[in-house]
Structure 1
Amino acid sequence: MVFDYVIVGGGSGGATLAARLSEDPTVSVCLLEAGGSGKDLLIRVPAAVVAMLPGRPKINNWAFETTPQAGLNGRKGFQPRGKTLGGSSAINAMLYIRGHRSDYDHWAELGCEGWSFDEVLPYFKRSESNERGPDALHGGDGPLQVSEQQTPRPVSHAFVDACAESQVRRNDDFNGPEQEGAGHFQVTQFRNKARNGERCSAVAAYLHPVMDRKNLTVITGAHATAIKFARKRATGVSYRRKGADHTIAARREVILCGGAFNSPQLLMLSGVGPADELARHKIPLVHDLPGVGRNLQDHLDFILNWKSKDPDMFGLGVRGAINIVKGILQWRKNGTGLIATPYAESGAFLKSDPSLDRPDLQLHFIIAVVDDHGRKLHMGYGYSCHVCVLRPYSRGEVGLYDANPLSPPRIDPNYLADERDAALMLKGVKMVRRILEAPALAKYRDKEFYMAGVTSDADIMQHIRNRADTIYHPVGTCKMGIDDMAVVDPQLRVRGINGLRVVDASVMPTLVGGNTNAPTIMIAEKAADMIKAAV
């Protein structure tokens, strides 16, 4: 089979890109996805993420692990990533956050021409159908439905009140003129009558509505094993499906959209990457590109948990089971209620020091006790608050364990390698504890999990190293730029190779100050224009 464009990975980048490129009926597009259709009930039901995220069993989830992390007392971290059309937008908390405008201006300062905030804003707006309507910062008629939450719990309102009592101002739009403050997150969730309350993943927004296009071929269950080259031009992709190997050819371009782990892995498996890494695994060198897999950045996150006697949240118990049954019936009826929740209903962006020009900490307030990504369960009811360092100094890498394309990538985030990250995390945890002890949460507060009675910096830091882990925002491993370690140029073309691009979160040179799904969709929207203009 021969297509104009072959896209590898149907996540937020790949689904968006396939839909946009196939708008031209004169070009043919093939999308390869290792997972399934992205239409499962578990994906459509927001609260059902609790069945997929833990990775036990692996449902729509690669469920990767990191190497042992010295900064986390030698623990291996957990790295869930979506394995389905829609990618991680199918198993995330649906939060629509762009980051701070200065994040994109910084990309431009690093030499990524065309990527300043004012230049990427039109692509954010083009993707977005915001329930509040269009304005200077928001789109009103894009494919991605950005909505108010259906039925936030009272405890989530109380968290915002607790922030106000702690001198954190209210903010009803984290993607508005100012990011700092506390409020409720907007979510990628359908609000039309037919699908009200369902998750609006990238594939549900962009790709499912156009799957009948004659120039678009989507192959699921297809695990890409290698990029094919003619000298230094990408000519196609090999993949394995149902135990059989296949190869498809690309007339114009091969485009990798596998994310921060799978895209660099496939490049290295195909002979593009650091020469020493490839030699170690006896992979023939096609092009020595030392930045492939380097520059890994992620939001390390720490969770504070409180038990509560109020059962109006997710929990294990008789009342909790009754609530879930009632919630399912309500959601099936009109898309509202407990089952429509993103779990992280409210949150905040904080400055660790008032003199800072932008927030450096993000909080996610959860209407359940979250422990080890939901892999450790506790009886009763409670709530949790995550805190993460928005722009870590620590840098890690993605590599290979071996030359087997079915093996997982070697993931080393190198968490807390830079002491500045540890110091800021400690400060953030102390700030969160003060908020959670504010009067507004008194009626919900029972007792603190794990940290009760822990007051010294040394003891808090030990808890951080024992329990902190990712909040699922890995980026940077095929970074965009103009320096020697850049993997792609500002047009997202792989340096030194023709006919090959990367369009996903791996191209971010630095991590944005917020969740990464919306920025990845923006990157694909902008890439579509660049690819069309290159013909």
Structure 2
Amino acid sequence: MRDSYDFIVIGGGSAGSVVAARLSEDRNCSVLLIEAGGRDRHPFYHLPAGFAKMTKGIGSWGWDTVPQRHMQDKVFRYTQAKVIGGGSAINAQIYTRGNALDYDEWRQMGCEGWSYADVLPYYRRAEDNDTYDNEFHGQGGPLGVSQPSAPLPVCEAFFEAAAAIGIPRNQDVNGQVQDGVCFYQLSQRNARRSSAAMAYLAPNEGRPNLTVCTGLQVARILVERGRAVGVQTADGKQITVRGEVILSSGAVGSPRLLQLSGIGPADGLSELGITPVFDAPEVGENLQDHLDLYCISELSGPYSYDRYAKPFWAAVAGLQYVLTRKGPVASSLFETGGFWYADPDARSPDIQFHLGLGTGIEHGVAAMPDGGVTLNSCYLRPRSRGKVRLASADPAKAPLIDPNYLADPRDREMSIRGLKITQEIMAQAPFGDFVKAERLPGPDVKTDAEYFDFVCKHSKTSHHCAGTCRMGVDDRAVVDIRLRFNGIEGLRVVDNSIMPTVISSNTNAAAIMIGEKAADMIREDHAMGAAS
């Protein structure tokens, strides 16, 4: 590792991996990528079913939220990736983009260049899609995007049950229409996870102008006379930058590091003993996330993947995967789901479903001793806004993460409506040959008050946090529409924290798109600067 680079990228997650790889395509440009987490050598990072281990500890910071005051002080495990590849290395590999209207609304907020028509080419450029090559999808890109290789018959029962209550089947929820239930496409290639690190960094780490440094934490961004001039690592080393510092540490990590660097709400930083470098009140504000609720049904036979948690069946599954690339190891466990309406008058689907082919898959979610399935729902356009703040000036301390779930009464109402729709689907006749009984919420939960009590005990994050370094054209926006930090030169934020509003789906594909688009903007801006 040298003492100076043209670009320093902080965070080797979904967006950071992309932007580092794309910028290093110019061999005259030196790029340093710094990732606090380790390498992705453990097989769980590459086997699709490894997701079941992720929210229980591997590859994450181990952070929790503050008690949620609108949810009876419930504390949520808030899994944030700490490994090269970031969220794309530990998520359920679901490849969705949100609704086209999400991006068009960004444009209507003044974010020119971020409409769906503007971002679609970057989605297509990233893809190596095993099924589609059309106006919505591309082939030949770095990121593997594939159809599921290990569905079960209970998935077809889900489709038929949804149809029984009027929800259609949709072959491509990333295509012309989002409405309906589906097999999700997955960020996989040949039944292996295609993380951003594997797709963008692994093929290019031999480039002499790209340095990837893992297991090293950045303590602060260095700012002199209103310009980012480098970084200081946790071991005290200072590395200078000739071009830009690009912050790609995610919707929690990016505002956290900015505040540790003295960039954020000045009064709060001073109270912690941090000398303010730049007063930016909205750094860490506008946190949005999808709250996940779930309905769990016990099955009348071995129709899910639950039995493969036992040692004998785990060995059988491993052998099946080695020989055929099929079976439970090839499953993300959440490859079936879809989009529908809690509010029938919503401008586009406002509820997302994920059918879990087992129980107890994620941290804190109940398991059925004899096996079951889990049908999750999340309300996609929450009005509640939270924040990320520091608990201490010590970089080793966890931040204060407050999603502020259900602060807005509409979020509570729509979330419970979504849960009731999952129950209705699971109660339909096509599930009759599979389901023994609904166990959660179960028949004893009837009133809205009882549903709310249930939600306060049985819910989790969807891992879709966004918005804490908001992009905009107003004076309080953290970054401008080219993702340049407002008020500090040579500093850009490139990750899901820049979203003005969280998109209506899983968010990892969007992080990759943001990395792709940002790389083009950075190259354009520096070419213009050189020309002038």
C-alpha separation between the residues in 2 aligned to 1:441 and 1:220? 47
Q: 1:215 aligns with which of 193, 204, 209?
A: 209
Matched residue of 2:322: which SS? helix
C-alpha separation between the residues in 2 aligned to 1:376 and 1:3? 49
Do the aligned residues in 2 keep the contact of 1:50 with 1:374 (CA within 8 Å)? no
Do the aligned residues in 2 keep the contact of 1:5 with 1:252 (CA within 8 Å)? yes
Do the aligned residues in 1 keep the contact of 2:66 with 2:402 (CA within 8 Å)? yes
Deviations 1:58-108 (A, max 9, x none): x21112100000122111111101111110111100000000000000111
Do the aligned residues in 2 keep the contact of 1:316 with 1:378 (CA within 8 Å)? no
1:122 Cα deviation (Å)?
A: 0.5
Q: Tell me the equivalent position of 2:196.
A: 202
1:390 Cα deviation (Å)?
A: 0.1
Matched residue of 1:303: which SS? strand
Q: 1:386 aligns with which of 360, 373, 376?
A: 376
Do the aligned residues in 2 keep the contact of 1:9 with 1:33 (CA within 8 Å)? yes
Do the aligned residues in 2 keep the contact of 1:349 with 1:363 (CA within 8 Å)? yes
Q: How does 1:408-423 map to 2 (within 5 A)?
A: 408-423=398-413
- Structure 1: runs of 5 or more not aligned: 191-195
Deviations 1:247-296 (A, max 9, x none): 21111000000000010010011011111111111111111111100000
C-alpha separation between the residues in 2 aligned to 1:452 and 1:501? 48
Deviations 1:383-430 (A, max 9, x none): 001110101000000000010111111101110000000010111111
1:464 Cα deviation (Å)?
A: 1.1
Do the aligned residues in 1 keep the contact of 2:52 with 2:361 (CA within 8 Å)? no
Q: 1:326 aligns with which of 316, 320, 338?
A: 316
1:498 aligns with 2:500: no
Alignment length (residue pairs) = 523
The 1:168–1:375 alpha-carbon spacing in structure 2 relative to 1, beyond 3 Å, is closer
Q: Tell me the equivalent position of 1:136.
A: 135
Matched residue of 1:527: which SS? helix
1:447 Cα deviation (Å)?
A: 1.9
1:124 Cα deviation (Å)?
A: 0.6
C-alpha separation between the residues in 1 aligned to 2:488 and 2:291? 34
The 1:245–1:375 alpha-carbon spacing in structure 2 relative to 1, beyond 3 Å, is farther
Matched residue of 1:459: which SS? helix
1:22 aligns with 2:24: yes
Structure 2 length-normalised TM: 0.96
Deviations 1:185-224 (A, max 9, x none): 100111xxxxx21111111111111010000000000111
1:154 Cα deviation (Å)?
A: 1.1
Deviations 1:344-374 (A, max 9, x none): 1210201124333300100100001137625
Do the aligned residues in 2 keep the contact of 1:369 with 1:382 (CA within 8 Å)? yes
1:316 Cα deviation (Å)?
A: 4.8
Q: 1:424 aligns with which of 399, 411, 414?
A: 414
Q: 1:254 aligns with which of 245, 249, 256?
A: 245
Please give the root-mean-square deviation of Cα atoms over the aligned residues, in Å. Answer: 1.4
1:201 alignment partner AA: S
C-alpha separation between the residues in 2 aligned to 1:104 and 1:277? 33
Q: Tell me the equivalent position of 1:149.
A: 148
1:312 aligns with 2:306: no
- Structure 2: runs of 5 or more not aligned: 527-532
Do the aligned residues in 1 keep the contact of 2:288 with 2:501 (CA within 8 Å)? yes
Do the aligned residues in 1 keep the contact of 2:308 with 2:314 (CA within 8 Å)? no
Q: 2:230 aligns with which of 226, 236, 240?
A: 236
Q: Tell me the equivalent position of 1:50.
A: 52
The share of aligned pairs that are identical, in percent, is 42
Q: Tell me the equivalent position of 2:60.
A: 61
The 1:317–1:181 alpha-carbon spacing in structure 2 relative to 1, beyond 3 Å, is closer
1:303 aligns with 2:294: yes
1:37 Cα deviation (Å)?
A: 1.6
C-alpha separation between the residues in 1 aligned to 2:131 and 2:367? 37
C-alpha separation between the residues in 2 aligned to 1:235 and 1:351? 48
1:502 Cα deviation (Å)?
A: 0.4
C-alpha separation between the residues in 1 aligned to 2:141 and 2:33? 22
1:477 aligns with 2:468: yes
The 1:420–1:23 alpha-carbon spacing in structure 2 relative to 1, beyond 3 Å, is same
C-alpha separation between the residues in 2 aligned to 1:503 and 1:168? 36
Do the aligned residues in 1 keep the contact of 2:308 with 2:328 (CA within 8 Å)? no
Q: Tell me the equivalent position of 2:529.
A: none
C-alpha separation between the residues in 1 aligned to 2:171 and 2:435? 25
Do the aligned residues in 2 keep the contact of 1:160 with 1:346 (CA within 8 Å)? no
Do the aligned residues in 2 keep the contact of 1:7 with 1:29 (CA within 8 Å)? yes
Do the aligned residues in 1 keep the contact of 2:170 with 2:180 (CA within 8 Å)? yes
C-alpha separation between the residues in 2 aligned to 1:147 and 1:140? 11
Q: Tell me the equivalent position of 1:457.
A: 448
1:11 aligns with 2:17: no
Q: Tell me the equivalent position of 1:356.
A: 346
Matched residue of 1:449: which SS? strand
Matched residue of 2:102: which SS? helix
C-alpha separation between the residues in 2 aligned to 1:205 and 1:309? 41
Q: Tell me the equivalent position of 1:227.
A: 221
Q: Tell me the equivalent position of 1:193.
A: none
Moved over 4 A (4+): 374-378
Moved more, 300-309 or 211-220: 300-309
C-alpha separation between the residues in 2 aligned to 1:69 and 1:382? 29
C-alpha separation between the residues in 2 aligned to 1:188 and 1:220? 23
1:463 alignment partner AA: F
1:108 aligns with 2:107: yes
Structure 1 length-normalised TM: 0.95
Do the aligned residues in 2 keep the contact of 1:33 with 1:85 (CA within 8 Å)? yes
C-alpha separation between the residues in 2 aligned to 1:531 and 1:286? 24
Matched residue of 1:171: which SS? coil
Do the aligned residues in 1 keep the contact of 2:359 with 2:365 (CA within 8 Å)? no
Do the aligned residues in 2 keep the contact of 1:72 with 1:468 (CA within 8 Å)? no
The 1:431–1:346 alpha-carbon spacing in structure 2 relative to 1, beyond 3 Å, is same
The 1:188–1:371 alpha-carbon spacing in structure 2 relative to 1, beyond 3 Å, is closer
Do the aligned residues in 1 keep the contact of 2:343 with 2:414 (CA within 8 Å)? no
Matched residue of 1:68: which SS? coil
C-alpha separation between the residues in 1 aligned to 2:517 and 2:210? 20
Q: Tell me the equivalent position of 2:530.
A: none
Q: Tell me the equivalent position of 1:448.
A: 438
